[in-house]
Structure 1
Amino acid sequence: MSGPEIIPFDWQRIWLGDAPPLFMLEIVFRTAVIFLWLLLLLRMTGKRGLTQLSALELVIVIALGSAAGDPLFYPEVPLLHAMLALALVVAFQRILTRLVVRSERVETFVEGVPVELVRDGVFDLSALHRSNLSRDDLFERLRVEGVAQLGEIRRAYFEQDGNLTIFRHSGDVPPGLAVVPPWDLEPPSVLDPDLPQQGLVACLDCGRVERVGGLLPGCACGGTSGWTAATTDPLAGPEGPARFADSA
């Protein structure tokens, strides 16, 4: 069964639809009611910023947005039904929040656990995979934190809220795999595996640093991307401080 014929550029349909003009006043009323009700409910959910939303809070935001949207302008959606749905969403949030506080198992299920991504300048490929991060994603986050090369990092953790926590060396910084400039702009130079090499080299797959005095070995991570010179300061110019690690 076909619906009514649609007339293109029917300004009455485009601007007002089938509702009478007075329905616009009802939309004002509906919007005011839902807005105030939602504001009251959100006051009960806590004050965490949008950049710190956990998985639970993100679900709450999506559910609240979905439940609050339709009654604003759909005349067939009663306000009380929408208000009940919003209240139930907030009630579920409060119940889950209490369970998270009281039970470590529930907290782990709802919010997950931190993941160690970098240890002593070497990043864990399996941990990146579990965190749904690529190597480029990790390097981008490290650059935002001012990290120039992986040797600067003692530990890096991917937290439950999606932030990256970094613990740096407090003294002399060992050399490591450069993360600047971004590899998309300036790829690192790959050492020729058929030529003898001297000094410290970094694995392009995991960042592991090895001292070599001959042909390049295979890396313990099993990567196939090869090796590049380990560096203490990737941004140092040719005339500046030693760009690559001391080969002595």
Structure 2
Amino acid sequence: MDAWFAVNWYELFVPSNSILELFIRGSIVYLLLFFVLRFIPTRQLGMLGITDLLVVVLFAEAAQNAMATTYTSITEGVALVGTVIFWSYIINWLGYKFPLLQKFLNPPPLLLVKNGRLIERNLAKELITEEEIMSQLRQQGIELLKEVKIAYMEADGGISVIPHNSKKDNIAEK
């Protein structure tokens, strides 16, 4: 019965691995996943940004390991979570400070439809079928392709659409 309430405080807080090693391991995994995910077609990521996805996945993994005693100390889990926060912040900060890098981190919008015509090359690049783009257009209240002035795949995987009858068109006609 005493074993139920015994706490090994040393094992709970003193890491069994070097904090530097944990930082290096966490950094390698984060950066490797970031670069792999950066080149996956955007539509497969949905509405979640790359760094958001990495943070969620790696937080869950690091926290789970610390709580499930896969690591022998809470300190190791905290070090890995800190590493994820560090790289997430640094990558976003670098993208903010250096616009050229931002273009790599978050791809520019990709033209999918122009004046009612599909841009087949760009659809193929993102692995989007005509049925899928039409589904996205219908969800935005557009029934026919010819109603679309321009449609873009945004960096977050969403599709923005400007129909021919937009407010800008109406102002230009007056």
SS in 1 for 2:151: strand
* Corresponding position of 2:138: 143
Residue 94 of structure 1 pairs with residue 67 of structure 2: no
Return structure 1 stretches of 4+ with deviation > 6 angstroms: none
Q: Give 2:105's aligned residue.
A: 110
Q: How does 1:3-82 map to 2 (within 5 A)?
A: 22=4, 52-74=47-69, 76-82=71-77
Query: 1:154/1:76 Cα in 2 relative to 1: closer, same or farther (>3 Å)?
Result: closer
Q: Counterpart of 2:80?
A: 85
Deviation (angstroms), 1:128: 0.6
Instruction: Show CA shifts across 1:150-185 (max 9, x none).
Output: 1110000110011111111128xxxxxxxxxxxxxx
Distance 1:61 1:76, change over 3 A: closer
Are residues 150 and 75 of structure 1, via their aligned partners in 2, closer, same or farther at CA, if it must alter by over 3 Å? closer
Asked whether the 8 Å contact 2:111–2:150 carries over to 1, the reply is yes
Answer yes or no: is the 8 Å Cα contact 1:67–1:85 preserved in 2: yes
Distance 1:21 1:133 in 2: 58
Q: TM-score, normalised by structure 1?
A: 0.47
Identity of aligned residues (%): 20
d(CA) in 2 for partners of 1:76 and 1:65? 14
Alpha-carbon spacing, 1:74–1:156, altered in 2? closer, same or farther (3 Å): same
Larger Rg: 1
Equivalent residue of 1:167, what SS? strand
C-alpha RMSD of the superposition = 2.5
Letter in 1 for 2:132: D
- Which 5+ residue runs of structure 2 have no aligned equivalent? 13-45, 167-174
Query: Residue 72 of structure 2: SS of its match in structure 1?
Result: coil
* Structure 1 position 57, deviation (Å): 1.7
Alignment check: 8 A CA contact 2:65 2:71 kept: no
Higher RCO (CA-CA < 8 Å; seq separation 6+): 2
Contact 1:117–1:157 at 8 Å: present in 2 too? yes
What is the SS of the residue equivalent to 1:161?
A: coil
Q: Per the alignment, in what secondary structure is the counterpart of residue 150 of structure 2?
A: strand
Task: Quote how far apart the aligned CAs of 1:77 are.
Answer: 3.2
In structure 2, the partner of 1:121 is: 116
Is residue 116–residue 148 contact of structure 2 (8 Å, CA) maintained in 1? yes
* Residues 1:161 and 2:156 aligned together: yes
Letter in 2 for 1:83: V
Q: 1:134 aligns with which of 129, 132, 135?
A: 129
Deviations 1:114-152 (A, max 9, x none): 100000000111101112212221111111111110111
The total of aligned residue pairs comes to 128
Secondary structure, in 3 states, of the residue corresponding to 1:22? helix
In structure 2, how many angstroms separate the alpha carbons of the residues matched to 1:70 and 1:94? 23
Amino acid in structure 1 at the alignment position of 2:123: L
Structure 2 counterpart of 1:157, one-letter code: Y
1:163/1:76 CA distance change after superposition, 3 Å: closer
Amino acid at match of 2:135: E
Distance 2:70 2:52 in 1: 29
In the TM superposition, residue 104 of structure 1 has moved relative to its aligned partner by: 2.1
Distance 1:75 1:145 in 2: 47
Q: TM-score, structure 2 length as denominator?
A: 0.66
Q: Aligned equivalents of 2:102 and 2:69: distance in 1?
A: 38
The one-letter code matched in structure 2 to 1:141 is Q
